[in-house]
Structure 1
Amino acid sequence: MDQLPKRPANYVPLSPVGFLARANAVYADRASVVYGGVRFTWRQTYERCRRLASALLSLGVRRGDVVSVLAPNVPAMYEMHFAVPMAGAVLNAINTRLDAAAVATILRHSGAKLFFVDYDYVRLAGDALRLLAAAAGGTVPLVAVVDDIDSPTGARLGELEYEALVAHGDPDADLPPLADEWDAVTLNYTSGTTSAPKGVVYSHRGAYLSTTSLLLQWGVATDPVYLWTLPMFHCNGWTFTWGMAARGGVNVCIRDARRADIYRAIARHRVTHMCCAPVVFSILLDGDGDGDGRQLEAPVHVLTGGAPPPAALLERVERIGFKVTHAYGLTEATGPALACEWRDQWDRLPLPERARLKARQGISVLSLADADVKNVDTMASVPRDGKSLGEIVLRGSSVMKGYLNNPEANDGAFRGGWFLTGDVGVVHPDGYIEIKDRSKDVIISGGENICSKEVEEVLFRHPAVADAAVVAMPHPRWGETPCAFVVPRDGKAHGLSEDDVLAFCARRMARFMVPKKVEVIGALPRNALGKVEKVKLREAARKLAPTVPAQIKPKGKTTTSTVVGGGRCEEQPVSRL
């Protein structure tokens, strides 16, 4: 039986790009993309993508070339997820909130041959291109501007323009077939929250499997109406760029995830699904905890991830009518890698308990062969007790091909047949994984491990706290202690004092976990993906550190276990002062 050959009839390389041809065949007259006053059908989107792919080939783009794009969630950004790989090239969607130096670095590192720029980012792109041209050996790519398709501005950068390329492309041109499903389909750069950004390469196979896996696990039926609040540049919209074509859905595009725009789009288009980082929940609630008493006319299913959402925040947003599914992932895993699959018996629990369960990251998505939490010193699995700490590890076809031109990072990320995420977690008795922290964010105070997420969960239950983050603060006696940064719910500091917050925490957690400092601020620093930039908060915490005489040391024996090697997110048996 091993001698039976592959044939064109029984072996076709897997690629999410094929979902578009199917959408044209079976959903041709359904709406595909809606943006302002612009509305396309799947027949039109298919033709536009083929035209653009043909135009790319006429510009000399070939297999493996990188095509970069700097744009928000607009139709052109959506179309390029199909058109670029249809031409055999690799799509590189760039974070729109980066500065010019970071954009120039990505263009140089990726070797981009063509660079599409939305009209809103012409100045940023121009600055990046000048930096690139001035760099030693810097090669400037061809540039094409993407004007607003609904209300053209006439903006220009370079000689090429997106709609002109689409108009002059040949929809009947022969496009290069995909020969190997291991070929690269996209190149995404990490957010750089814990290290320098790295270029993550996705394969056609991995993207296809991740797309189908997430559609099935989230329970997305045919004809969904999907609102683009999650940036498409973030892990290619967690693969739902391709997924909406697979389900014949409607892509409702908005340039900015503003509160009014989100609710307006939900009402106008009867949105059924959306993805977002937890920070968007705060936008939806507008910091008042109840969303101004708003109630959705029909439920909207939300897949959230990117940062562990506090259970209290999930509880508030679900009262409005958002049905939240929590996922965990990272760029290297093609987006979500764990999903908190809901169990029917949990519906009988009180809302706070349901929210607590929903805040867990869950079980592996179907495209993974396995997910586990391990002691990375021994690569042994930690006990399933919900307390023993280890590093979350993954293996499966939806894990990245690797980091572009970075063998050292690849050697560090892959070990013993697993991909090491760098995230600290526990496994509950039911097999559900819960993230506790990034390994570098765990606070070790007097030899005891303190998970910042657990302290943050308590802070979010304070009635006057809208947002919160906890980082390590240097301490001459304990080494480091928790420092809390809190944002008042009404936007004003009155009614939220340090003494009040400390007393609130002291009643709800072990004494050693209580922050030694609470700073009330206007807003937490966040990156474009909604993740708190804890590097900046740690810098601020260092300036707030107490000046205890350095010679005073904790008395008695303390534990010395490291978090990634195995530990517990609870009080350890140590002697205290």
Structure 2
Amino acid sequence: MIRRPGSGRVPAGPVPAPPATLPELLAHRAAAHGDRTAVINGPARLDFAAWQGRSGALAFALRAAGLATGDRVGLWFGTDRWTEYAVAFLAVLRGGGVAVPLSDRTPPAALGHVLTSAGVRLLVHAGPGLPPGTPPGVRGLTEEDAAGHPTASDLPLPDPAAPAQILSTSGTTGAPKGVVATHANLVHGCTHDERRRPLRHSRTFLHAFSVGSNAGQTMLVNALNAHASCVTAPQFTPARFLRAIAEHRVGSVFVVPATAIELLGSSALAAAADSGGLDTVRLVGSTAAALPQQVALGLSRAFAPAQIVNYYTSTESAPAQITLLFDANRPQSPGRPASLADLRVTDDTGRPLPPGEPGELWLRSPAAPRTYLGDDDGVFQDGWTRMGDLGRVDEDGFLHLLDRERDVVKSGAHKVSTLQVENALFTHPDVVDAAAIGVPHPVLGSVVAAAVVPRGTDPVGSGGDRDGLTATALRTFLLDLLAVHELPATVIFLDSLPRNEAGKVLKRELRRTLTHDHCEATP
């Protein structure tokens, strides 16, 4: 769960027992202050009382449609239907089912694969019909089907140890995997104590995350648990996002690197700052991937004096999370963890390494750990989750992410960090976005290749010059920042990088593009 930095002294007094499930937490909040707004999505508003009533009625309709305890239920919604999605998600949990959230932008083949592999037989959607790719035998249900049904107040609350949710991993380099979370996992860190609610410094918090992403699910839990109301953008554009900050006097803004890059590249950002539209922001949090150094610095300038925070977590490890407070004086690191107790750096045998030594990163979950639907591939061990990243913690306690383990380029006798190459690319004033990968080489095994989105220029053909920005000029610029074996041997210029719904670069697609004959290669 994305949490805020410390919000000051908490009044003394007895602490109520925490909720055991999300439906229990919703019932508590509906009873305590039902008319308080929980979710804002464009013109749609959802308060806690309506959330409780509508989800209860839909839970009853699901049971009437044949839902049995433990059955998997697909949820297919877009970012313009966040209030309806919030109702449907809690309805599935309240009815004893296991929610399988999916964005309405999921391609038909991927939708069919997820629903089949998860064993889904019911699909709650916004209508009017079932989405393309729905396998035969899957029955559709909408909230309208719950009209006239009583609420499910007589249903028993689910077992905290039972499965509650199946999310798909991002699949940026391989096939997505289903990750199972229990009710206890999802509700970890939530509270019944009004004095201890997260985001107390904010009247509202804002995000534009999609349904079906781990970041989106974190925001849904925050909507249930936080002091602030959740504002979720129906459709992300920089101008609309910035207007929402001003309109709702947002105190906490949550982004992924892709949206941060778009915000910094928008002419609307300066206008919003000049008009005072950003003055309420106290926290800018980024998740899904580490912010490139230049992007983090740009955010710290644009939203000053707000704290910039990188949240280090994953679909597999949540609610395990490391909160990294970005320091503009140490931009080479995403930040210093508030605590290192649940982070370890190990060698390839699992032995913890001392400060300064690079190795594999692991996170320890404070709650019931998640699991894969299939083979765990050694990812989950004794409460720890292998993150698939390489990194180190320096002597001052700052975390340094070196690369995804599978993205390291083995070029001859050298190992090259694609993150380091990307950070160097971002320092060029005409580079808006960039990604680096390894591509095959007949002698060295692999070499670095880069895809670059240049600033404010029109394409003249894939890999061609753009107002003077060429692969040769870019490599010359990088000579002062990278070693020779780290320089991209191949560079192409694109209008945009291929990204998934969570904003992560799809490197498997770039790899296909970068091996085509039209790439501009340089010696």
Shorter-chain TM range is: 0.7 to 0.9
**Structure-1 residue corresponding to 2:422:** 456
Of residues 364, 367, 374, the one that matches 2:346 is 374
Quick one: distance in 2 between partners of 1:70 and 1:43? 24
**Aligned partner (choices 177, 183, 186) of residue 204 of structure 1:** 183
The one of 126, 135, 159 aligned to 1:118: 126
2:433–2:454 CA contact under 8 A, matched in 1:
yes
Report the identity percentage: 28
SS at 1:333's partner residue? Answer: coil
Indicate the residue corresponding to 1:3 in structure 2.
none
Question: Structure 1's 335 and 485: CA in aligned 2 closer, same or farther, altered over 3 A?
Answer: farther
CA 1:248–1:17: 2 relative to 1, 3 Å = farther
Instruction: Output aligned runs, 1:308-327, within 5 Å.
Output: 308-321=290-303, 323-327=307-311
Amino acid at match of 1:143: G
CA distance in 1, matches of 2:325, 2:368: 20
Give the aligned CA root-mean-square deviation in angstroms. 2.9
1:468 aligns with 2:434: yes
Does residue 504 of the first structure (1) align with residue 477 of the second (2)? yes
Rate the CA distance shift 1:223–1:42 in 2: closer, same or farther, 3 A. farther
Query: How much has 1:379 moved relative to structure 2?
Result: 1.2
**Per-residue CA distance 1:254-295 (angstroms, 9 max, x = gap):** 32222232122222221222322110112212356x934531
Deviations 1:421-476 (A, max 9, x none): 22222222234433221111101122111111011111101111000111113223
Offset of residue 547 of structure 1: 11
- TM-score, length-scaled by structure 2: 0.85
- Kindly provide the amino acid, as one letter, of the partner of residue 132 in structure 2: D
Segment of structure 1 superposing worse, 330-339 or 414-423: 414-423
Contact residue 327 and residue 362 of structure 1 kept, 8 A: no
Instruction: Indicate the SS of the match to 2:362.
Output: strand
- Residue 128 of structure 1 is aligned with which of 129, 133, 141? 133
Equivalents in 1 of 2:115, 2:251: separation in Å?
36
Question: Which sections of structure 2, spanning at least 5 residues, go unmatched?
Answer: 1-15, 459-465
Within 5 Å, give how 1:357-436 maps onto structure 2. 357=333, 359-360=334-335, 362=337, 370-376=342-348, 378-385=349-356, 388-398=357-367, 400-404=369-373, 406=374, 409-415=375-381, 418-436=384-402
Cα distance per residue 1:153-212 (max 9 Å; x no partner): xxxxxxxx31341x323136302223x321111111112222221111001111112556
Q: TM-score, normalised by structure 1?
A: 0.78
Establish whether residue 84 from structure 1 lines up as the match of residue 55 from structure 2: no
SS in 2 for 1:168: coil
Tell me which of 321, 329, 335 is aligned to 1:337.
321
**Structure possessing the higher radius of gyration over alpha carbons:** 1
Counterpart-to-counterpart distance in 1, 2:449 and 2:152? 61
What whole-Å deviation, never above 9, does each CA across 1:499-553 have from its counterpart, x for those lacking one?
22111110122222222222222111111111111112222333459799xxxxx
Conserved in 1, the CA contact under 8 Å of 2:319 and 2:365?
Answer: no
Higher percent of residues as helix:
1
Alignment partners' CA distance in 2, 1:303 and 1:15: 26
Task: Measure, in 2, the Cα distance between the counterparts of 1:216 and 1:25.
Answer: 17
Alignment of 1:38-437 (within 5 A): 38-73=44-79, 74-119=82-127, 122=129, 125-129=130-134, 132-133=135-136, 140-144=137-141, 161-165=142-146, 167-171=147-151, 173-178=153-158, 180-209=159-188, 220-221=199-200, 224-235=203-214, 237-286=216-265, 291-295=269-273, 296-299=278-281, 301-321=283-303, 323-334=307-318, 337-341=321-325, 351=328, 353-357=329-333, 359-360=334-335, 362=337, 370-376=342-348, 378-385=349-356, 388-398=357-367, 400-404=369-373, 406=374, 409-415=375-381, 418-437=384-403
Matched with 1:477 is 443
C-alpha separation in 2, matches of 1:12 and 1:381: 33
2: distance between equivalents of 1:314 and 1:531? 16
Give the aligned partner of residue 516 of structure 1.
489
Give the length in aligned residue pairs: 489
1:533 counterpart (474, 481, 506): 506
Q: Does structure 2 retain, via aligned residues, the 8 Å contact 1:226–1:249?
A: yes
* d(CA) in 1 for partners of 2:363, 2:200: 28
